[in-house]
Each structure stands twice: as C-alpha cells, then as structure tokens.
Amino acid sequence: MGRIICRIKRVNYLIRKVDVNNMCLAIPGLICEIVSKKRVMVDITGVRREADTSLLEEPLEVGDYVLVHTGFIISKLDPEQAKEDLKLWDEILSS
C-alpha cells in the first residue's frame, strides 16, 4: 500500500506542473532528428515518433527536450527538469 501512495504522489507532482484550466497530458521527449522545417523526430521513452513544431516560435535543435501532446510539441523544456521528469515517468511506467 505504501508503494502505491508513493507512486500517486509522484503522479500528482507531474500533474501539478500543468495549469488545471488548460490541462492536458504531455510527455517529455528528446529531439533526435530534424525531419523538415516543421517536423522533428522525438524519442519518448525509447519510442521514436514524428512531431509537429508549428506551435512553437523558437527554433529547436537535436538534443533539445520538449513536451509532446497529441503529436505536437507544445513547449521546450529545461534539460535538467526534463531528465527528472523522464525518471519519474520511467518509475510510473515500470510499476
């Protein structure tokens, strides 16, 4: 039971980072390839998918961490925060 509560607290930590008025599930990923001006390949927990960059004005590069929601990149992440978030996602998905 304590293990479940611990995992719930970690999920709540990830959810608190999202504005509840604009809530969505976004997954952190690492850009591993630039496909075109508006498309990149993102590695999300070992799965590579194309994502659309048209919602962002800032340029993206290989090695940038981003938040992906329904195939669209919605923000660029600080690398240290992204690594921490990915570690939490790994723990959640492995349970």
Mean pLDDT estimate for the chain: 80
Summarize the confidence of residues 77-92 as an average pLDDT: 86
Residue 18 and residue 12: Cα distance in Å, rounded? Answer: 10
Q: Is the pLDDT of residue 14 over 60?
A: no
Q: Where are the beta strands (DSSP E) in 1-95?
A: 27-36, 39-44, 47-52, 65-69, 72-77
Tell me the pLDDT tens digit for each residue of 28-63: 999 999 999 999 999 988 899 999 999 998 999 999
Q: Model's pTM, two decimal places?
A: 0.71
Q: In the predicted model, what is the mean pLDDT of residues 10-26?
A: 56
Report the CATH number of the 2-94 domain.
Answer: 2.30.30.140
Distances in whole angstroms, Cα of residue 23 to Cα of each of 2, 14, 20, 44 = 28, 12, 5, 20
